[in-house]
Each structure stands twice: as structure tokens, then as C-alpha cells.
Amino acid sequence: MKKEDQSALTPRIIVIYCHNAVLSPEELREGGYLEEGFEVYFAALPCSSKIEPSYLLKIIADGADGVVVVACPEGHCRFIVGNNRAEKRINYTRKLLDSAGMGAERLVLERGEGLTVKDFLEMAGGRLEILKILGPNPMRGAEK
């Protein structure tokens, strides 16, 4: 597959969230949101601890510029320690991203509860500056 023109790429950010952290799950429509200067896609999990390093790496290897995992605040996990496990896995995956030269900052953990679409879009938008420094994901259009 021919690589896309990297300079013309709009940053693509994936927000993976614990559905217990959301105020109204029905508010989040399927598909992507095209915001001013970036695209956002949402994916819900029954608990943030359902994330695995392999999933997170695959998302980035398949071309996402940034991934934001949203967990419940510390001590507020419905499954007691799920959000702590998520944090450990994210820290581990960030090290792997660094070892591959991709930059750990492509992946972050955010915490919150009673969150709305607006909150998620703000979290995603907050990544734009660092993603600009990292540059477009070199995996866009690469072989799988």
C-alpha cells in the first residue's frame, strides 16, 4: 500500500473509556467525530482493566496518532482495582512504545466520572500539542 501524504494527515485520536465513567452512555454515538483539526473515535469497555497492551499497540500500529484511555478515579472502580490494573498496563505499554521509537506520549491515561462527550473531546484535544511534536504516525499506510 502506498503511504499517504503525511503532512496532509489529520490527527486521529482513539478514546477508550470505561462505561462506568460516563454520565449518559447513550449520548455517545457510534463512529467518529470530526473536530476542528482532529478526528476522534470512541470505544467503550465494561471496565478500563479490559485493555491489553496488545490491543493498544495494534491500534497505534494500525495508524492512530494517539490513544486516550479513560478510567474511573482512584478508589472508585466498580471492580475495586480494575482502574489500577489499567494504569499498570498503560505504563508498561508506554515503555514498549518508547522502545519502538514511537513515543510513549501517544498513549495516556485520564481519569474521571460522570463524563460527557464534551469532556472526552477536551481530553482528546488536549493531546494535540504533544502529538504535533511527535509528528504524524509513521504507520499510516504502512504494511500490516
Contact region for another protein (CB under 8 A) — 34-42, 52-60, 75-83, 124-132? 52-60
Residues 6+ apart with CB under 8 A from 8: none
Rounded distance between C-alpha atoms, residue 141 and residue 144, angstroms:
9
Closer of 96 and 117 to another protein (Cβ): 96
CA distances from 9 to 54, 100, 122, 133, 138 (A): 25, 22, 20, 14, 11
Closer of 98 and 122 to another protein (Cβ): 98
Per CB under 8 A, 9 contacts another protein = no
> Is 32 strand, coil or helix?
strand
Contact region for another protein (CB under 8 A) — 33-41, 46-54, 70-78, 120-128? 46-54
Contact region for another protein (CB under 8 A) — 75-83, 97-105, 108-116, 122-130? 97-105
Per CB under 8 A, 134 contacts another protein = no
Rounded distance between C-alpha atoms, residue 78 and residue 119, angstroms:
21
Rounded distance between C-alpha atoms, residue 57 and residue 9, angstroms:
20
- What residues numbered 77-96 form the site for another protein, per CB under 8 A? 96
Interaction site with another protein (CB under 8 A): 52-54, 57-58, 60-62, 96-97, 99-102, 138-139, 142-144
